Amino acid sequence: KLVLVTGAGGFIATHIVKQLQEEGYRVRGTVRSLEDEERIKKLKELCPDAKHELELVEADLTKPESWEPAVKDVKYVIHVASPFPTQTPKEESELIQPAVEGTQAVLKACVAAKSVKRVVLTSSCAAVGWGPGADTTKTFTEEDWMEPEKLNAYGKSKTLAEKAAWDYVKELPDEDKIELAVINPAYVMGPVINGSMSTSSEVVKRLLEREKPFVAKLNFPVVDVRDVAAAHIKAMTLDDAAGKRHLIVNSNVWMKEMATILSKEFKTQGYNVPTANCPGPILWLTSLFDRTIKMVMPDIGKVYKFDNTRMKDVLQITPHEIKDTLIEMAYSLIEAGLIK
């Protein structure tokens, strides 16, 4: 059984590739470029005992023609690739176009291949109820959708891409039908095994590097990357996952709580992690000249909550302890030389 993982070199995708290989699947991964030899070598070594060596091919969400060869003879596709930059781009279309049109191109190639049974799409809790326009009085479920106009460019790109995927499979004639299952992760943290930075690592990096002498009153619904990877693989084969969305979240954590956990573990190793909440007026002043703080200001003090019943009952995932998730993420960043 051949599985295609798109964007195989990313933070989450490397864990999916590794777990698939550990379970004995044959895995093909896509990357935008095969030129970076060191990166490719690292990917090939994710699971040293793998029965089948990882196959890597080039494909780009902005090049629809690149997907046909990538999906050839594949039974399952796990479509993870999507732009996830640390900062909002000048033009929203820089994110929305590859996310939406890229997803459509992947699905189109899957139908044409005739071998694909199911596609698992990595969406986000942002497509469900996360961000300034979301109702903080409720616990969101898989029934909920964010209105794209209430979201920033990234949230919009994820919501519109997921919608486009559901619409695409719904419209397929019977003879072309493929199954779709969607994974909607919260803020993904945990060990980094691709040796590079991603948006997910930003909070831990900033805390360990003491980028600011304070923490902001921010709350994150967190989940471990290993649980997210396992969820994709379960959603790939379980009958009950087809045609469904799955919120993948452990619990809500304040930035101050994260900082306290990291401070306890790393203080003796020379990391001076800030643990005090920033007073409101100072945060507001800082936001005037700091783009990242400005971006998070609408989320200050807000708690976005998600129901993880399907994750536990249907996908049978028992999430890692948040403390382990955070500490192992920090150690992996330090070991990879990604912390100053």
Q: Which residues are catalytic?
A: 158
The one segment of 17-25, 183-191, 289-297, 316-324 that binds ligand NDP by CB under 6 A: 183-191
**Which of 3, 5, 10, 203 is the binder for ligand NDP (CB under 6 A)?**
10
Minimum CB distance to ligand NDP, residue 90 (Å): 17
Query: Which residues ranging from 199 to 228 are in contact with ligand NDP (CB under 6 A)?
Result: 200
The vertex-180 CA angle with 178 and 186, nearest 5°, equals 165
Minimum CB distance to ligand NDP, residue 29 (Å): 9
- The closest alpha carbon to 127, from 169, 87, 98, 163, belongs to 163
Going from the C-alpha of 319 to that of each of 78, 118, 138, 225, the distances in angstroms are 21, 25, 22, 10
Minimum CB distance to ligand NDP, residue 201 (Å): 9
**Which of 3, 13, 182, 207 is the binder for ligand NDP (CB under 6 A)?**
13
155 scored as a contact of ligand NDP (CB under 6 A): no
Rounded to whole angstroms, the Cα distance separating 146 from 114 reads 33
Rounded to whole angstroms, the Cα distance separating 43 from 23 reads 17
The one segment of 2-10, 136-144, 164-172, 253-261 that binds ligand NDP by CB under 6 A: 2-10
Q: Which residue is nearest to ligand NDP (CB)?
A: 10
Rounded to whole angstroms, the Cα distance separating 174 from 196 reads 42
9 scored as a contact of ligand NDP (CB under 6 A): yes
Minimum CB distance to ligand NDP, residue 290 (Å): 21
Q: For the chain, list the strands marked E by DSSP.
A: 2-6, 26-31, 55-58, 76-79, 118-122, 139-140, 179-185, 187-189, 219-224, 245-248, 251-254, 305-306
Would you say 124 or 332 has its CB closer to ligand NDP? 124
Rounded to whole angstroms, the Cα distance separating 34 from 6 reads 14
Amino acid present at 224: D
Minimum CB distance to ligand NDP, residue 221 (Å): 10
Q: Exposure pattern of 50-67 as b/e (b: 16+ CB <10 Å)?
A: beeebebbebbbeebebb
Spell out, one character per residue from 62 to 101, where the chain touches ligand NDP: x when CB under 6 A holds, - when not. Answer: x-----------------xxxxx-------------x---
**Which of 5, 12, 119, 181 is the binder for ligand NDP (CB under 6 A)?**
12
31 scored as a contact of ligand NDP (CB under 6 A): yes
**Which of 32, 42, 206, 323 is the binder for ligand NDP (CB under 6 A)?**
32
Minimum CB distance to ligand NDP, residue 152 (Å): 13
C-beta of residue 125 within 8 angstroms of C-beta of residue 185: yes
Would you say 125 or 169 has its CB closer to ligand NDP? 125
Which phi and psi angles does 221 have, rounded to 5°?
-80, 115
**Which of 58, 60, 101, 142 is the binder for ligand NDP (CB under 6 A)?**
60
The total number of residues shown for the chain amounts to 340
Residues forming a β-bridge with 113: none
129 scored as a contact of ligand NDP (CB under 6 A): no
Binding interface with ligand NDP (CB under 6 A): 7, 9-13, 31-32, 60-62, 80-84, 98, 122, 124, 158, 185, 187-188, 198, 200
